[in-house]
Structure 1
Amino acid sequence: MNHCHLLDIEFEYNETKQVITPILLHDEHDTILIDCGYPNFIPLLEAAAARYSITLDSITKLIVTHHDMDHIGSLAAWKRTYPHIEIIAHELEKPYLEGTKKSLRLEQAESTFDALPADAKPNAEQFIRFLQSIEPAAVDRTVTHGASLPWCGGIEVIHTPGHMPGHISLYIPASKTVIAGDAVVIEEGTLAIANPQYTLDLDEAVRSVQRLLHYDAEQIICYHGGLFHGDVKQALRQLISAYTP
């Protein structure tokens, strides 16, 4: 039987309490982690997985939704600590994860720096240094839209660009569940676009929300917000309408 476990992790970042929700998919053959948090998050993930009596050394695969620092900050440490784990990402993400191309989030931060007011620049400089410190990690397998992964009862890859060009979400047909990554987030109980002011292509992000409607989803899990409580299809349509003239 396929199990989907939400690893709600509470922590402080920039003196603000935050929660992220990596996911564990688990069956008798595989344990798959989806996204792995900020740097130095392995102990937090270990504690979260232990709530389900799962140890990190049992994880066989790690699927990356995209290369933002809160999703892949611990990726290189994972690969060093558990070299047997297979790292999987969209083919467009591979060069950014492996460090052969500069992070798009870093490019964005650098390109907007000069326009910032003087009092905002120290924090921006700190953020840029943080992005520069993220270690690259080798990707073992790349995927594209529509790929069907045979593990844990079956996983369908949904290319959901906008937040980043290589962003992916996942669909679990057995439970009619979408694992959204940052394609959508939950804010005050409703679905929203993740940080629209920092989304690299907002129009593309809205089209990705439309793409999610193609799936027979009864549940949607967001990296920021966890499990959505409500009518998934209706909530997605309301979000789309908010960005449609």
Structure 2
Amino acid sequence: MKIIELPIEFEYNGQPNFIYPSLIVSENELTLVDTGYPGFLPLIEKEIAAHGYDMMNLKNILITHYDDDHIGSLYDFKAKYPTVTIMASGVEAECISGKVKPERLAQAEAMLEHMPEEQQDFGHWFVQQLKSLQHVSVDQTVHDGEWILNQQCKVIATPGHTSGHISLYFPELSSVITGDAAVRDGDELIIANPDFCLDRERADQSLIVLQNLQVKSYYCYHGGCQTL
């Protein structure tokens, strides 16, 4: 088994930007962790192909949490690759499938009521962005402490950024895929977007949990891989 970082470059507010989904390779089976913004399917496909892998071997898509930059292209992936198994925590599965109102949308709507006038355009855009995300049924829910992917990956609950956020621990690889529970900031690991954390205290605690694993590599969705 190995983990491959997928740097996806795009433009945001006129500036170059990156996200870093992860590809887990286990023999001939591929597992993609998070799917980028809406419309990012071709960008991710291209990056996977550049590493020499066939998308027809995509078996799983594992979602760390519900945010537009993590589930934005999930519907497109499921439509194009219908046999893929979509995995997420129970809390996030409820949001992804549309069974409950997403926490992020409720937060965005509440924040909009108090935003300064100069930020209102962004606030309305963000609310609409979240409302436009298409629902997808989650095939398999995963739980804290559960071993998945041929018993080589341990699911770790890392709430705070969202209630059901998960990270993925690979003891044999001395690696963690962090989602937004930790992001790379230079040579440090920090929490992502503190102002958007649904529970800052829990987010701080989750970051400590990941740091205490003392692995060699943290694969961060924002900032890229941090190797200690």
Provide the TM-score with structure 2 as the length reference: 0.96
Residue 182 of structure 2 aligns to which amino acid in structure 1? V
For residue 177 of structure 1, what is the aligned residue in structure 2? 175
Residue 99 of structure 2 aligns to which amino acid in structure 1? T
Residue 120 of structure 2 aligns to which amino acid in structure 1? K
For residue 49 of structure 1, what is the aligned residue in structure 2? 48
The 2-side partners of 1:119 and 1:27 are apart by 48
For residue 208 of structure 1, what is the aligned residue in structure 2? 206
For residue 222 of structure 1, what is the aligned residue in structure 2? 220
Q: Aligned to 2:91, what secondary structure does the other structure show? A: coil
Q: Aligned to 1:162, what secondary structure does the other structure show? A: coil
For residue 34 of structure 2, what is the aligned residue in structure 1? 35
Q: Aligned to 1:191, what secondary structure does the other structure show? A: strand
- Count of residues in correspondence between the two structures: 228
Does residue 195 (structure 1) correspond to residue 214 (structure 2)? The answer is no
- Bigger mean CA deviation after superposition, 83-92 or 7-16: 7-16
Structure 1 runs of 4+ off > 3 angstroms? none
Mapping of residues 139-154 of structure 1, within 5 Å: 139-151=138-150, 154=152
CA RMSD of aligned residues (A): 1.3
Unaligned residue ranges in structure 2 (runs of 5+): none
Structure 1 residue 187 displacement after superposition: 1.6
Bigger strand share: 2
Structure 1 residue 209 displacement after superposition: 1.5
Mapping of residues 1-245 of structure 1, within 5 Å: 2-151=1-150, 154-230=152-228
The 1-side partners of 2:55 and 2:191 are apart by 31
Structure 1 residue 32 displacement after superposition: 0.6
Per-residue Cα deviation, 1:211-235 (whole angstroms, up to 9, x for no partner): 22443512111000111133xxxxx
The 1-side partners of 2:117 and 2:210 are apart by 41
Residue 174 of structure 2 aligns to which amino acid in structure 1? K
Change (3 A) 1:165 1:114: same
Residue 176 of structure 1 aligns to which amino acid in structure 2? S
Per-residue Cα deviation, 1:16-63 (whole angstroms, up to 9, x for no partner): 321111111112242110001011111100111012111222110000
Residue 166 of structure 2 aligns to which amino acid in structure 1? I
Residue 208 of structure 1 aligns to which amino acid in structure 2? S
Unaligned residue ranges in structure 1 (runs of 5+): 231-245
Residue 13 of structure 2 aligns to which amino acid in structure 1? N
Residue 143 of structure 1 aligns to which amino acid in structure 2? V
Q: Aligned to 1:24, what secondary structure does the other structure show? A: strand
The 2-side partners of 1:134 and 1:86 are apart by 19
Structure 1 residue 71 displacement after superposition: 0.4
* Percent of residue pairs identical: 38
Residue 112 of structure 1 aligns to which amino acid in structure 2? M
- Bigger mean CA deviation after superposition, 36-45 or 13-22: 13-22
Residue 44 of structure 1 aligns to which amino acid in structure 2? L
Residue 9 of structure 1 aligns to which amino acid in structure 2? I
Per-residue Cα deviation, 1:50-94 (whole angstroms, up to 9, x for no partner): 121112221100000001110000011111110000000001111
Structure 1 residue 155 displacement after superposition: 0.6
